[in-house]
Structure 1
Amino acid sequence: MTSVEGTVADRYTGLRDELQRRLDSGAECGASIAVIERGELVVDLWGGHADALRTRPWERDTLTPVWSTTKTMTALVALMLVDRGELDLDRPVAHYWPEFAANGKQGVKVRHILSHSSGVPAWEQPVTVDDVYDWEKSTAMLAAQAPWWEPGTASGYHAFNMGHLVGEVVRRVTGRRLKTFFAEEVAGPLEADFFIGLPPEHHHRVAEIVPPPPRPSGFVPRPGSIQERSMRGPAVGAHESNTEEWRRADIGAANGHGNARSVAAIQSVISHGGQAHGVKLLSPSTIGLILDEQTNGRDHVLGVPVRFGVGYALPLPGLLPYVPEGRLCFWGGLGGSLVVNDLDRGVTMAYMMNRMQSGVIGSENSAAYFSAYYAARSD
């Protein structure tokens, strides 16, 4: 048994208790929770173990793969370029990346790749994980293929290629790779311990991912469907995140490494008017673009109703029932990691872990923590 460490404001001690209960029960292996309210870090908790055998403690500076929570960082980068006037959401992607116009994609707009509605949710077969690690090859493959539905008409979650689509636009606009721009213009200025493409000197700090339980035996996507094609384009198992190749790669959709504190520190820019720690990254008007609904309905890939704004999901009844109504934007990662930006309350809350649970967005664990936090608030 390990004790939860860190700090928590008196009103939120229930969060510490909930994390301790879940560590003791085995529902968690290792995890961290952070909440920033009106610029103050009111919750900064961590505990458990950084390996499946529970021999290595989860420490203050432990990093973990956050899977698709990475997408919130990629979206932030794109929004920064929009804010600077270097990127236009309504211009075709091909305006910045001419090769992308091939095979009927000339009408795909920048806003479409940020709202999972481009019609290009994954790579066409054949494709391997090694192809995804090869930036030039993988982006050329995306540029060459045709959309799988009419762009802009519906969402189909871009699980592993969103970072390549947005990242190549970032590269064409700035001359820098996504991971480089993020390190130099976001994580660095905010002094946040988060990486897209983890340098080797930090690999020893990474928690081992514990895979989720198998999918129910009855879950079989229809052969040839968008969902089935997306799951094979490519098929990436949880074990992949424990490899050196995964850690080093530039996968802005999925291979970010951080912890709850660093995720909250960066994403609080969204809930705090565009700045954090005295560093301004966005204007309020650009933040408002996030809340502009782009799609609302059953997602072709996830198979459940999702409402997307620009770069983030927006509240929808039944999607995250444990967060309040209002001006919120959020996203999470495979296995349950989650970050919520609550603009009405000036709050960003993040939960990152290494033991994955089943579920599409969030998990039983995230539901417990976010419920405990909002139950402790008087508003």
Structure 2
Amino acid sequence: MSEIHGVCEPRFGPVREAFARNFDEGRELGASVAVYQRGRAVVDLWGGRAGRDAAWRQDTITLLASATKGLVATAAMVLVDRGLLDLGTPIAEYWPEFAAGGKGDIPLRWVLGHRSGVVTVDPPLTMLDLEGGTAVTEALAAAVPAWEPGRAHGYHCLTMGWLVGEVIRRVTGLSVQRFFAQEIAGPLGLDLHIGLPDTRERSLACLVPPTGEQLLQGRANPELAGLNRAICDPASLFHRSTFGSLSLAGDPLAAAGLPQAEIPSCGGAGNASGLARMYAALVSEVDGIRLLRPESADRARTVEASGLDLVLRCHTSYGRGFMLPGGPMWPGDCSPTAFGHPGVTGVFAYADPDHELGFAYVPNRMTELIEGGDDRVRHLVEATHRSACG
């Protein structure tokens, strides 16, 4: 039996059981899971290995991949809640250069809902571009939408974070990295970061890609047949918006300086406790802090797009920067009002306003399903939902 550390209230015992079973059945290497309900931590568990010679500890963090989009969406919705951003205002009113290429009428909500069509960057960005920032902003301002904005939706794999981040910078004078740190992570005491701080590098778990067998299991999912074809097709929007938009030598996950770079769509780092606490603060008060008023939380989860995703080639549903239940990217049964975000590292986190709950799961064995949703997290999500409803 695997040794599981941390605390778990008796009512949420099924979560601990599901977490331990992931290890005992060989699905897991190292991981943490956390749940907040009504402002209190009711689950905070961890176990396994963070690296070859290191045990997973309470302060272990991992790269969050696309779950970072949830941090960016939180920052944007906090500014909406404060009246400093408007979801229906064209981005060009905040960022005039963005109007080039037929983008002058694209409102903020279309970017948050993956409807803007601005999904590719050509020519691809280099590591120097990512570190400098200005070249990224200029490339996005010059970009041409891949479809008529507002008429369809497709996952903004890399561009969502940079687009929203530039709007945040224009309004506040702060990068999304600094705004999140000062206005969200700092007040709530979250070990969550957009870009890995040098001070936390030693606590970073080593990511392990899925095995060939695990990848084959993931590709057997019929709902992902279109995505699996797109991954192998250099002409597909998926390929053009990911591999085709970056020019990084070798393994992108191992690129020097990449974890520290500000890549707000996928460059975050943190742990389950921090993610669960943040999502809980979106729908309830946590130690005297509530990030969004109830009406703003409702706007965050309002359906912006649902149906066939032109990039992922499967069914997806999006609110304002957050994924919503429905389709293969969302794991397990939970409240229909939930909103959150997965990541290719296996991370998944969400808020459940019906039960005033924040959930997060953070492993170091990457998922075989591109953006989370594998059996490990599905079992945890369903155990959490049963416990919260009990």
Q: Per the shorter chain, which TM-score range?
A: over 0.9
Question: Residue 234 of structure 1 is aligned with which of 218, 234, 246?
Answer: 246
1:237 Cα deviation (Å)? 9.9
Matched ranges for 1:32-181 at <5 A: 32-51=32-51, 53=52, 55-181=53-179
Counterpart Cα distance in 2 of 1:150 and 1:335? 32
1:131 Cα deviation (Å)? 2.8
C-alpha change, 1:269 and 1:235, in structure 2 (3 Å) is farther
The residue that corresponds to 1:31 in the other structure is 31
1:371 Cα deviation (Å)? 1.9
SS in 1 for 2:54: coil
Contact preservation (8 Å) 1:90, 1:109: yes
Contact preservation (8 Å) 2:33, 2:44: yes
1:317 Cα deviation (Å)? 5.9
C-alpha change, 1:67 and 1:22, in structure 2 (3 Å) is same
Contact preservation (8 Å) 1:209, 1:242: no
Counterpart Cα distance in 1 of 2:27 and 2:251? 19
Amino acid in structure 1 at the alignment position of 2:20: Q
Mean CA deviation greater in 326-335 or 93-102: 326-335
Contact preservation (8 Å) 1:198, 1:257: yes
Unaligned runs of 5+ residues in structure 1 are none
Counterpart Cα distance in 1 of 2:21 and 2:49? 14
TM-score normalised over the length of structure 1: 0.92
The residue that corresponds to 1:257 in the other structure is 269
C-alpha change, 1:152 and 1:183, in structure 2 (3 Å) is same
The residue that corresponds to 1:247 in the other structure is 259
Counterpart Cα distance in 2 of 1:16 and 1:239? 35
Counterpart Cα distance in 1 of 2:133 and 2:359? 32
Unaligned runs of 5+ residues in structure 2 are 220-224
Counterpart Cα distance in 1 of 2:302 and 2:247? 32
Contact preservation (8 Å) 2:283, 2:294: no
1:303 and 2:313 aligned: yes
Contact preservation (8 Å) 1:296, 1:308: yes
1:365 and 2:373 aligned: no
The residue that corresponds to 1:293 in the other structure is 303
Amino acid in structure 2 at the alignment position of 1:371: E
Amino acid in structure 2 at the alignment position of 1:259: N
Contact preservation (8 Å) 1:77, 1:182: yes
Amino acid in structure 2 at the alignment position of 1:209: L
Amino acid in structure 2 at the alignment position of 1:340: Y
The residue that corresponds to 1:280 in the other structure is 290
Counterpart Cα distance in 2 of 1:116 and 1:242? 28
1:309 Cα deviation (Å)? 1.1
SS in 2 for 1:7: strand
Per-residue deviation, residues 173-194 of structure 1 (Å, max 9, x unmatched): 1111111111111000001111
1:303 Cα deviation (Å)? 1.2
Contact preservation (8 Å) 1:241, 1:255: no
Amino acid in structure 2 at the alignment position of 1:42: V
SS in 2 for 1:179: helix
Mean CA deviation greater in 360-369 or 187-196: 360-369
1:318 Cα deviation (Å)? 5.8
Mean CA deviation greater in 122-131 or 297-306: 122-131
Per-residue deviation, residues 251-303 of structure 1 (Å, max 9, x unmatched): 1111111110000111112221xx42212322222112112211111111111
1:368 Cα deviation (Å)? 1.5
Per-residue deviation, residues 313-341 of structure 1 (Å, max 9, x unmatched): 22226653622343111211113211121
SS in 1 for 2:85: coil
Counterpart Cα distance in 1 of 2:269 and 2:125? 24
Counterpart Cα distance in 1 of 2:264 and 2:323? 17
Matched ranges for 1:314-333 at <5 A: 314-316=324-326, 320=330, 322-333=332-343
Counterpart Cα distance in 1 of 2:349 and 2:249? 22
Per-residue deviation, residues 114-157 of structure 1 (Å, max 9, x unmatched): 11111012322333344333311111101111111011122211
The residue that corresponds to 2:12 in the other structure is 12
Counterpart Cα distance in 2 of 1:346 and 1:137? 41
Counterpart Cα distance in 2 of 1:370 and 1:238? 35
Contact preservation (8 Å) 1:213, 1:357: no
Contact preservation (8 Å) 2:348, 2:362: yes
Identity of aligned residues (%): 37
Amino acid in structure 2 at the alignment position of 1:89: L
